[in-house]
């Protein structure tokens, strides 16, 4: 009983959305973080299939992942999910089998909204692309070195000044 109470406390307090499913894909339980993520109460989530919350373009992948979990695998992926208000957002998820006495009786899923992470990555990639463009197209010779003084990058102007053909 104390062990079950500790597990319930962890389930309730964890910041990631935790959702349990039966073998048909119906939600059997969810934590408060799931309520916040999906914008709906636990009682409204329970009894609904996971397919109701996955965008159509990711539904085949979600179904494939669920089948793998029911086969005993633990999987991870990024999917786009949909709230009842129609808003969508990406989540990183980890899902695995729930077992009772050695038999798989359902699945768990831990999910986290990665909207901000994806925006930051896109901004970083855009910044790197701008850097590459400025570096490569600069009319002045430019050479980048690592800590061991090995050339890691040079532009065409550097090659022209040094008399080295570009790779």
| pLDDT tens digits along 85-97 | 999 999 999 999 9
User: Per-residue pLDDT averaged across 27-47, rounded?
Assistant: 93
User: Per-residue pLDDT averaged across 117-128, rounded?
Assistant: 76
Of 32, 38, 28, 39, whose CA–CA distance to 15 is shortest? 32
Q: What is the pLDDT, as a whole number, of residue 166? A: 59
Q: What is the pLDDT, as a whole number, of residue 6? A: 85
Per-chain mean pLDDT for the chain: 89
Count helices and strands in the chain by DSSP H and E runs: 6, 7
Residue that is written with structure tokens 């179904």 in the block:
63
Q: Identify the residue with better confidence: 162 or 38.
A: 38
Kindly tell me if the per-residue pLDDT of 54 is higher than 70: yes
- Residue 49 backbone zone (phi > 0: left; psi -120 to 50: alpha; other: beta): beta
Which stretches does DSSP call E strand in 31-167? 75-82, 88-100, 103-113, 143-145, 151-154
């Amino acid at each position: 009983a104390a062990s079950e109470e500790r597990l319930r406390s962890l389930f309730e307090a964890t910041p990631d959305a935790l959702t349990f499913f039966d073998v048909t894909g119906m939600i059997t339980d969810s934590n408060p973080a799931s309520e916040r993520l999906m914008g709906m109460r636990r009682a409204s989530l329970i009894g609904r299939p996971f397919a109701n919350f996955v965008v159509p373009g990711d539904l085949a992948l979600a179904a494939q992942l669920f089948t793998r979990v029911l086969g005993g695998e633990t999987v991870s992926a990024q999917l786009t999910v949909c709230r009842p208000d129609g808003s969508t957002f990406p989540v990183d998820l980890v899902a695995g089998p729930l077992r009772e006495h050695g038999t798989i009786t359902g699945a768990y899923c831990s999910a986290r909204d990665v909207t901000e992470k994806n925006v930051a990555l896109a901004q970083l990639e855009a910044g790197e692309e701008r850097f590459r463009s400025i570096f490569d197209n600069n009319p002045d010779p430019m050479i980048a070195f690592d800590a061991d003084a090995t050339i890691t990058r040079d532009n065409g102007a550097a090659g022209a000044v040094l008399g080295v053909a570009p790779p």
